[in-house]
Amino acid sequence: MMTEKEKMLSGNLYMANDKELKADAKKSRMLTRLFNNTTEEQKEYRAELLKELFKKTGDNIYIEPSFKCDYGCNISVGNNFYANFDCIILDVCNVDIGENVFFAPRVCIYTAGHPIDAEVRNTGLEFGKPVKIGNNVWVGGSTVINPGVIIGNNVVIGSGSVVTKDIPDNVIAVGNPCRVLRKITEEDKIYWEKKKEEYYSGL
């Protein structure tokens, strides 16, 4: 017999009022409360709290308060992860975030879902689907990433997007629902390399 937590993480229907899940949620609320009450002078303490909260973290992780999540222990982030203000991650299933990923303000990741049928939904049964984000991804402000989505490597998601389906590698995608706008090209690389050289040359 699977526990409610095992059902949850496997994408099956589960009850969130389970004792084990309540304990995990309580720990998450405590750690996020401590994190959100820190000051700018407590960067090391912030990092310690995030490492305790998350399942896995890489080096150089920085999140601007406020931050909220369901459990935290189902979130993995790679090296050089940055999330701006008001990030929310509902991690009833695994959320795997790669390296060099940047979130603008108010990015929300939702792995949680509810049955479409009202009678089943009203019983309190829920389900989830995991979310995966690749390496070198920039997600624009006020973007919502829905359950079950996979975002590839080297992707830019435009602000205000609602991502309901997978996004392939090496593209700019935007909209509600989010769609591929165009590929990221060699011309993009040349343009931004030139801008970088101008910066370092002092213009």
Domain of residue 102, CATH code:
2.160.10.10
Q: Is the pLDDT of residue 71 over 90?
A: yes
Q: Encode pLDDT of 26-51 as tens digits.
A: 999 999 999 999 999 999 999 999 99
Q: How much is the pLDDT for 202?
A: 80
pLDDT digits (tens, 9 = 90+) for 101-135: 999 999 999 999 999 999 999 999 999 999 999 99
* Residue 186, domain extent: 4-200
Q: 30 to each of 23, 35, 189, how far by Cα in Å?
A: 11, 9, 43
Share of the chain above pLDDT 90, in %: 99
Taking Cα atoms as reference points, which of 99, 89, 100, 198 lies closest to residue 146? 89
Catalytic residues: 114
- Distance separating alpha carbons of residues 11 and 96, to the nearest angstrom: 15
Domain count, the chain: 1
pTM of the model: 0.95
In this predicted model, what pLDDT tens digit does every residue of 148-203 receive, in sequence order? 999 999 999 999 999 999 999 999 999 999 999 999 999 999 999 999 999 999 86
- 113 vs 13: CA distance, rounded Å: 10
